[in-house]
Chains A and B, each alone.
Chain A
Amino acid sequence: MNLALRLISIALLLAAWFAGSHIVGTRLFPEPQTVGLAIAQEARSGALAFNLGVTLARVVVSFTIAMALGTAIGLAMGRVPTFDQLADPWLVVLLNLPALVIIVLAYVWAGLTETAAIAAVALNKLPIATVTVREGARALDRTLDEMATVFHMSVWVRLRHVVLPQLAPYLAAAARSGLSLVWKIVLIVELLGRPNGVGFEIGVAFQLFDVTRILAYALAFVAVMLAIETFLVQPVERHVSRWRSRPA
């Protein structure tokens, strides 16, 4: 994307923020530079890095669990009609259970533990990943499957070289939407039952009516996720779809 346009867009956003905070009042909506100072202060004390790290770790672990399980279950559901029919009602229940209910129940049943927190987040993300991968598994190319059968390819070779590349766009879609969903749910989980992390800090700031701190932590974490998207997700996507880049 054009860098100049991006910069103009960010400048406009900052200008609108500045104007907005003067209209609403700086107590309810502090100016950009105030938030910037707060971020710097938290960074100096080490609290920012610690909380970001803790939250990021929870995001990574629950995201990985949800994607791995979701891919396996989605693949099985897409390939085996009986399993699809058996598991589909469960999927519908999970899809429609509010995130908050899952989190609260997890904490009630398993206590205010790390395991409960991670499980609750993963369980929220799982059905969406499953549904997306199932669509991909249903769209698998039969002719390539037959080719693999005829040439006696091993299960591993088939999975790695025949099936997964076909699922790649679906996995990418699930990962994209999943990452942003997961980090939002992680914040709620932290707010409700963890003694650290970005969500916990925002909860504290909420009780103190400290809008500056809320914005400081929110922005810092958005920056982290943006960096992950730019330096991790996009390069991986480019590598996986390299065969598409040069048409015949």
Chain B
Amino acid sequence: MHIKHKSYRAAAGGRLHVLGEFSIAVALGEVAALVGPSGCGKTTLLRIIVGLDHDFEGNVRLPAHGRLGVVFQEPRLLPWRTVEDNVRLAAPQASDATLNALFATLGLAEHRRHYPGELSLGLARRVALARAFAVEPELLVLDEPFVSLDAALAARLRAELVELVSRRPVTTLLVTHDIEEATGLADRVFLLSASPARVLAEMPIQHPRSAQTVDQLASIREEIKRKTSASP
């Protein structure tokens, strides 16, 4: 247990109550998904965790060195640098071999010399993923990384993400409003309420990602639906 954890009240603007008493714990090497309706403060929560928002009460404990890999909702690439430079600037210590492997896995090998303006959104998202993995993070934070992509492409990127995570296990925090995405990727799912966000339920998902069957996923989704409707 390394990210141990935080309970805090965050206020933004005119003391708007975004997050209630709130605490989660994620074990080292675990993939956790935060699922909740849009506007419930998921992004605010992530901003606090990665240290972009300091206006809150409580505390956040990160793994030892706190090396972060973040994938924002938008790719947030430097438009004036090539794909490769974008990754290298964020991860100057990454070896050529690591980068080659990353680019190969994500299908970016022939796009290394391209500028972000020449890429489709799907490709730009992959670059953002590559950048986050290249820093070899101790905590990987993904903020709805597959939103506004068509279903087929999102599925492919999810598969690529699973492959990357299984190759090099890393503590991961995934925010999404898509229950399927959460159950497909995570070891542990936190269900959040509408704003101010609280944890409604925490459910471990025992089956290894690759071995999940359609039935198992369906039953998990049923359970989630039950829990969501049970608590107001």
Residues of A near any B CB (own CB < 8 A):
143-144, 146-147, 149-153, 157, 161-162, 165, 168, 243-244, 246-248
Contact = CB atoms under 8 A, between A and B. Distances in A.
A147 B72 contact: yes
Contacts of A248: 117-120
A interface majority secondary structure? helix
B70 interface: yes
A33 B168 CA distance: 78
Tell me what chain B mostly uses at the interface: helix, strand, loop, or mixed. Answer: loop
Contacts of A161: 78, 81, 85, 89
B226 to A, nearest CB: 37
Contacts of B50: 150
B42 interface: no
Nearest to B117: A248
A237 to B, nearest CB: 13
B26 interface: no
Given A150-B68, A161-B81, A144 B76 contact: yes
B89 A150 contact: no
A246 B79 CA distance: 12
Contacts of A146: 52, 72, 76
B70 A151 contact: yes
23 contacts: A143-B74, A147-B70, A147-B72, A147-B76, A147-B90, A150-B51, A150-B70, A151-B68, A151-B89, A151-B91, A151-B131, A151-B135, A152-B68, A161-B81, A161-B89, A162-B78, A165-B78, A165-B81, A243-B79, A243-B80, A243-B117, A244-B117, A248-B118
B76 A243 contact: no
Contacts, number: 56
A247 B117 CA distance: 6
B115 A246 contact: yes
A146 B131 CA distance: 14
Contacts of A150: 50-52, 68, 70
Interface string B115-159: 101111000000000010001000000000000000000000000
Nearest to B90: A151
B90 A153 contact: yes
A162 to B, nearest CB: 7
Interface string B97-121: 0000000000000000001011110
A144 B70 CA distance: 12
Given A151-B68, A151-B70, A161-B81, A246 B118 contact: yes
Interface string B62-98: 0000011010101010111100010001111000000
Given A143-B72, A151-B135, A247-B117, 9 more contacts: A143-B74, A144-B76, A146-B52, A149-B51, A151-B91, A165-B78, A165-B81, A243-B81, A247-B118
Nearest to B119: A248
B102 to A, nearest CB: 15
B118 A144 contact: no
B170 to A, nearest CB: 15
A153 B89 contact: yes
A146 B67 CA distance: 15
Contacts of A247: 117-118
Interface in B27-67: 50-52, 67
Contact of B80 (A143, A149, A157, A165): A165
Contact of B89 (A157, A243, A246): A157
Contacts of B120: 248
B103 to A, nearest CB: 18
A170 to B, nearest CB: 14
A149 B70 CA distance: 11
A144 B78 contact: yes
Contacts of A162: 78
A178 to B, nearest CB: 23
Contacts of B85: 161
Nearest to B86: A161
B55 to A, nearest CB: 15
Contacts of B118: 246-248
Contacts of B135: 151
Nearest to A240: B80
A167 B126 CA distance: 27
